[in-house]
Amino acid sequence: MRKLPYLAKEGIKNLWHNRTMTLASIFVLVACLLLTGLAVLFSMNISNAMQDLEGNNQVTVYLKDEVSPQESEQIGKKIEAIENVASIEFVDKDRALENMLNRLGDDGTLFEGLTEEENFLPDSYKVSFRDLSLYDQTVKEISAIDGVESYTDYSEVAEKLTRLDHLVSVAGVWIVIVLGIVSLFIIANTIRVTMFSRRQEISIMKSVGATNGFIRIPFVIEGICIGVIAGIIASAVLYFSYSAIMDSISGVVPFIRLIPLEEILLKAVIAFIASGIVFGTIGGSISITRYLKREGGSIIIG
Amino acid sequence: MIEFIDVSKTYPNGTHALHNINLKIDDGEFVYIVGASGAGKSTFLKLITCEEKPNSGQIIVNGVHLETIKKRNIPYLRRNMGLVFQDFRLIETMNVFDNIAFAMRVVGTREKEIEKRVPFFLKMVGLSHKAKMFPSELSGGEKQRIGLARALINHPKMLIADEPTGNIDPAMSYEMLGMLSEINKHGTTVVMVTHEHVLVREFPHRIVEINNGSIVADSSLMQNPAAAQSAEPSETSEKGGGTDA
């Protein structure tokens, strides 16, 4: 272990001597990390949005306008009697309006002047389901009840989001695989260049009895440094671009509540740097192992 | 001790480099390996340093059978060998001190020990005043002395020198041979490949001549018939047995 500071210094020296290739590797690795990160974040946001939508398995059941308070109570009892219904909550039209105004915030000023008579929102029940897989059957039973006008059907939106999530995941996986291979290849090549420029040192190391493990360490450290630097840059880029990207997405799909940056930043930084290290280590190891196997054995005596 | 028993080496491209080599070099010996280019001298050294494995026969170095040695044990075997090269193989970007210290660092010697031992060896090769210089500022002879200091710094049991005087002027070559002989006197085995007959005559030691992959002459066998027998293991056992009876 006492050799480590010396070996680390050698690895960092390698980076500097070989800076053009180092930069190229860092750049490609940053691209790879960012795309991976964005795909993961997109996916996380979608599943987050889906949870919001499902709202603890809730469906809003709207009652017909002409339904009297007594009738609506009857309807509530009938809904409650359905086996898959866990609980219900009555929301009268006034509270519905209030809720909507709250939700819309400043955008809601248009509706502020509405009087009680003008309130176009119906009374409704928030119904929680026990088992979401019985969704179709349960909503059918509910809509069959007299006085029920309609219910919010999130299934279609959820389905679309699931499909989108799936698409992003599949595309993301492929992009990551391709870019991952490319970055490994470039890192391995970068380190191979260093290795060739230091082949005499390697031969001398071997001649005085350095183990392969020892010879490998500076090159692996070089790879790790590339990984760490790429991880830090990718984190910084993510930090500055996340809000911008997500803003534009929320413009298209407004009801999605985004995961706040603070919640994911630390995880993203750790994940970026960790995967940078993994990539760097593998890239460094590939080239030095191949070199030691192919040429490293016969360089002691010309 | 280095012992070759019926060793043959053919390269994958079909070159028969060595054929049926039997040779024993005892601890503390000084042996010149001579022969024309392509005779098999380099292959001989490569077999000793474990860069190549023999196709048949046995090679025993310091009690270790090299034909069956595990790859991971090779570095530890090499730590008992000091290597000196014809082209010096100094690292141009390191100064003299670091070139020598490098050999200690890669085997994990403490810095404190390096600070102590390197100046001692620099003094031994007479280059204490050039510790901070870079190889490009040194003459061929000086470079080779640094190479020698580096080879000796880890206290190897044997020194393997591949034409160490091939790139230096005659006066320096004499000095180099003088140093090698001195080192040998202190108990280090020296195996030196050379072309230079003048030096060999001037500093007489055992001479083994390789030609076309076979040993064609061994001065120790000519002077000492007993050694001739021990170099042929199969005969030795037969004759030895006969004498005892």
Nearest CA in chain B to A298: B51
Measure the CA–CA gap between B224 and B227, rounded to whole angstroms: 6
pTM of the model: 0.66
Interface residue of B78, B92, B106 to substitute, partner A, most A CBs within 10 Å: B106
Nearest CA in chain B to A198: B91
Measure the CA–CA gap between B243 and B225, rounded to whole angstroms: 15
Give the CA distances from residue B4 to residues A60, A284, B42, in Å, rounded to whole numbers and listed in that order: 92, 39, 15
Identify which of A199, A224, A207, A218 has the alpha carbon closest to the alpha carbon of residue A274.
A224
pLDDT reported for residue B156: 94
Lowest mean pLDDT among A86-95, A107-116, A142-151, A215-224: A107-116
Identify which of A84, A70, A93, A76 has the alpha carbon closest to the alpha carbon of residue A145.
A76
3-state secondary structure A129-171: ECCHHHHHHHHHHHHCCCCEEEECCCHHHHHHHHHHHHHHHHH
pLDDT reported for residue B245: 32
**Are A206 and B72 inside 8 Å of each other by CB?**
no
Q: Name the band, by pLDDT with cuts 50, 70 and 90, for residue A10.
A: confident
**Distance (Å) from the C-alpha of residue A20 to the closest C-alpha of chain B?**
20
ipTM, two decimals: 0.79
Residue scoring higher pLDDT (A21 or B25): B25
Residue scoring higher pLDDT (A53 or A27): A27
pLDDT reported for residue B231: 45
Average of per-residue pLDDT across B164-175: 91
Instruction: Tell the burial category of A105 from Cβ atoms under 10 Å away from its Cβ (0-12, 13-18, 19+).
Output: exposed
Share of chain B above pLDDT 70, in %: 90
Q: Please say if the pLDDT value at position B235 is more than 50.
A: no
Average of per-residue pLDDT across B187-199: 92
pLDDT reported for residue A300: 54
- What lies within 8 Å, CB to CB, of A286 at 6+ separation is A184, A188
Q: Which amino acid is at A266?
A: L
Q: Name the band, by pLDDT with cuts 50, 70 and 90, for residue B157.
A: very high
Q: Tokens standing for B102?
A: 């490098």
**Are B75 and A3 inside 8 Å of each other by CB?**
no
Average of per-residue pLDDT across A168-179: 79
Domains of chain A: 4-52+158-298 (no CATH), 65-146 (3.30.70.3040)
Q: Name the band, by pLDDT with cuts 50, 70 and 90, for residue B99.
A: very high
**Are A209 and B108 inside 8 Å of each other by CB?**
no
For the CA atoms of chain B, what is the radius of gyration? 19
**Distance (Å) from the C-alpha of residue A15 to the closest C-alpha of chain B?**
15
Which residues 166-225 on chain A approach chain B with CB closer than 8 angstroms? Answer: 200-201, 203-212, 214-215
**Chain A interface includes B155 (CB < 8 A):** no
**Distance (Å) from the C-alpha of residue B51 to the closest C-alpha of chain A?**
5
3-state secondary structure A26-95: HHHHHHHHHHHHHHHHHHHHHHHHHHHHHCCCEEEEEECCCCCHHHHHHHHHHHHHCCCEEEEEEECHHH
Q: Name the band, by pLDDT with cuts 50, 70 and 90, for residue B183.
A: very high
Facing B78 at nearest CB: one of A208, A297, A302:
A208
CB atoms within 10 A of CB A123: 23
What is the layout of strands, in order, in the sheet containing A85-91?
A85-91, A124-129, A58-63, A148-151
Could you read off the pLDDT of B112-138 as tens digits, one per residue?
999 999 999 999 999 999 999 999 999
Q: Tokens standing for B46?
A: 């490569």
Which residues 35-74 on chain B approach chain A with CB closer than 8 angstroms? Answer: 42, 45-46, 49, 51-52, 72
**Are B75 and A298 inside 8 Å of each other by CB?**
no
Identify which of A47, A282, A292 has the alpha carbon closest to the alpha carbon of residue A166.
A47
Strand partners, B60: B3, B65
- Residue pair A69/A93 in contact (Cβ under 8 Å)? The answer is no
Identify which of A302, A288, A242, A296 has the alpha carbon closest to the alpha carbon of residue A269.
A242
